[in-house]
A and B are shown apart, each in its own frame.
Chain A
Amino acid sequence: MQVVSETIDHAGIRSRRTRRPILWTPWLMLFPALAGISVFVLFPTLAVIGLSFTHWNLLSPHPAWNGMRNYQSLLSSPDFWTALLHTGIYAVSVAGVILPAGFGIAWVLNQPLKARNAYRMIFFLPYVMPLAASGIVFSGLLAPSGGLVNVLLGRLHVAGPDWLGSVHWALVSVIAVTIWEYLGFYMLLFLSGLQQLNPALAEAASMDGAGSWQRFWAVIFPQLIPTAVFAGVMVVIQTFQAFDQIYVMTAGGPVTATTTLVYYIYEQGFQFFDIGRASAASVLFVLLVGVITLIQWRGMRRWGGDPS
């Protein structure tokens, strides 16, 4: 129960003489942060909405009003839908591996196992690698000739593909490096969920004669749903924003095989200088992230309460 009052009334406690400085202090303290956020996040958000209704290639001095045309042309452009599809495949694949695997490993490493701290450390280690560095290491491992993966496949008499140069395998390769990088992070998220479990509930269930399988699904799993929803939304948002690994590994290619939504925005804005179109795609991107976040909040409210 939260009965603690929200704030302490400085003004009420201190003498009248110091009333003025205290009224200003909160704003003085907020100013640097609010200024930074306003200039680099809030104003640009409004600006990107405005720019999305204009045509501008940076050469003309001013953006020209363009109405809904950017949105119309985006929504009828196969390239945009392909980028959206790649983003979806990428997010769902990474989530589909990282969530169950992260949970499974967390489950095992939550048992009183010898050396479990060493395992936790090893699995988490890739998280500190800069994504660009991980991407280059995987490019080397996946090099068509001489790369460790294809050398190993060769030993098994399988001819490995040119991973990053193949339309079919490039996205898979980017997915692989992302999973490798973040698996430990999600393992730790689930581990923290597992450590918050109420052991009394599971014990009570086994007293009542529940088997271990029943105990898991009826007692433990419902308690983990908030963690799972949180992790699920985080992994989707994280993959939606992916850029660095794609930039160093494939630069969106071959052709458009690894062009995700963010990469598409980058190309439209910084390679084709189509600011209006890039802005319209950005607005759609924010809406998509916003919808996912809202679903999270709804989900948390629905399942996040008492498991009873």
Chain B
Amino acid sequence: MRKRRSLWVWHLPLALFSLFMLVPLWWMVVAAFDPMRALLGGHLALWPVQWKLSNFAAAWKSQPFGRYYFNSIVTTIAIVTLQIATSTLAAYALVFLPFRGKRAVWALVLLAMMIPIQAIFIPDYLILSQLNWINTYQALILPFAASAFGIFWLHQAFRNVPRALVEAMVIDGASPWSVLWHLVLPNTRPAIMTLAVLNTVFHYGYLFWPLLVTNTAAFRVLPLGLSYFVAQQSGFMQWNLMMAAVLMTVAPMMALFGLAQRYLRAGVMHYGLRG
């Protein structure tokens, strides 16, 4: 009892710390609406001098943000969809089907999981440029269409599907495809959703790879577009326009966070269980 009553003491440090975590986000919003002179005036900028939408219009016009949005959304959706499809099939074969060489395949998956793309981007780039795929959607999407981590993740999830159910369906004459579609997928929806959401956050925000394989505005994605926007402002930084652009970039992820944070949080905590 005594312990429970004393817990409120924690609210002070927690609130202060929340403030610390929220200030960058709040400043981003304020700056996105503020006229520039207010930001330069050396005031604390914790409330806009006036709420101006014109920053967004100016930022939108200074770079082809419409195109960036389109590219980001198309590549993210394509990567996530393909990766879930390929990982689901592979994980199903590894968990439920007998075949020779399974241990070797699993070893390759684990090996691939240990190799970061930051270490192999040079040959990856050379392959894509040999195919004349620089500045294409394929170059943005295909290297991530399969993922060792995705297979590993779904492998763990599929192992929890009750064997008895699978066996019953097989005895009834169901094909592997039908077992996967009618039994395994419906039973592992949360794990698949979690993988989808984690992947969406990662690939939507990814700058490194698009930076390597694109060099025209037509194939730039939002984070890369942002970096060009910053580079464009050499010397005099118009922070209000930049924050408007950042806010436009971040908005879809904030919406996703609102909609799917249950999956995100469950996913990260599940990740902890693996450890």
Contacts and interface: CB of A to CB of B under 8 A. Distances in A.
Contacts of A158: none
B176 interface: yes
B120 to A, nearest CB: 4
Nearest to A134: B24
A150 to B, nearest CB: 9
B112 interface: yes
Nearest to B148: A37
Interface string A122-141: 11111111111110111111
Given A8-B96, A29-B176, A37-B109, A122 B22 contact: yes
A7 B92 CA distance: 11
Name the interface size band of chain A.
35 or more
A83 interface: no
A36 interface: yes
Interface stretch (B56-64, B166-174, B188-196): B166-174
Given A138-B24, A243-B118, A33 B111 contact: no
A58 to B, nearest CB: 9
B108 A37 contact: yes
A244 B207 contact: yes
B53 interface: no
Contact of B208 (A30, A183, A243): A243
Interface string B114-143: 111111111110110000000000000011
A190 B89 contact: no
A11 B109 CA distance: 25
A151 B46 CA distance: 12
B97 interface: yes
Interface in A51-100: 51
Contacts of B52: none
A148 B44 contact: yes
A1 interface: no
B235 interface: no
B205 A131 contact: yes
A202 interface: no
A135 to B, nearest CB: 9
Given A129-B253, A247-B207, A34 B7 contact: no
Given A133-B226, A151-B43, A290-B114, A30 B275 contact: no
Interface string B255-275: 011000100110011111111
B78 interface: no
B93 A152 contact: no
Contact of B148 (A41, A131, A136): A41
A183 B268 CA distance: 12
B93 to A, nearest CB: 4
Interface in A104-148: 105, 108-109, 111-115, 119-134, 136-141, 143, 145-146, 148
A272 interface: no
A280 B18 CA distance: 44
Contacts of A237: 116
Contacts of B31: 140
A183 B96 CA distance: 38
A25 interface: yes
A23 B99 contact: yes
Given A34-B105, A247-B227, A146 B39 contact: yes
B183 interface: no
Interface stretch (A166-174, A214-222, A224-232): A224-232
B243 interface: yes
B14 interface: yes
A140 to B, nearest CB: 5
Contacts of B275: 189, 193, 226-227, 229-231, 300
B249 interface: yes
A25 B176 contact: yes
A42 B112 contact: yes
Nearest to B22: A122
Contacts of A39: 127
A105 B17 contact: yes
B142 A36 contact: yes
Closest 6 CB pairs of A and B: A36-B146, A230-B275, A130-B205, A192-B272, A33-B90, A44-B123
10 contacts: A8-B166, A37-B108, A41-B112, A113-B10, A133-B250, A141-B24, A151-B44, A183-B21, A188-B265, A286-B120
Given A36-B145, A123-B18, A146-B40, 10 more contacts: A10-B97, A13-B167, A36-B146, A48-B120, A131-B207, A143-B237, A189-B268, A189-B269, A191-B269, A243-B208
Interface of A: 4-5, 7-11, 13-14, 22-23, 25-27, 29-30, 32-37, 39-45, 47-48, 51, 105, 108-109, 111-115, 119-134, 136-141, 143, 145-146, 148, 151-152, 154, 180, 183-185, 188-193, 195-196, 226-227, 229-231, 237, 240-241, 243-244, 247-248, 262, 265-266, 269-270, 275, 278-279, 282-283, 285-286, 289-290, 293, 300
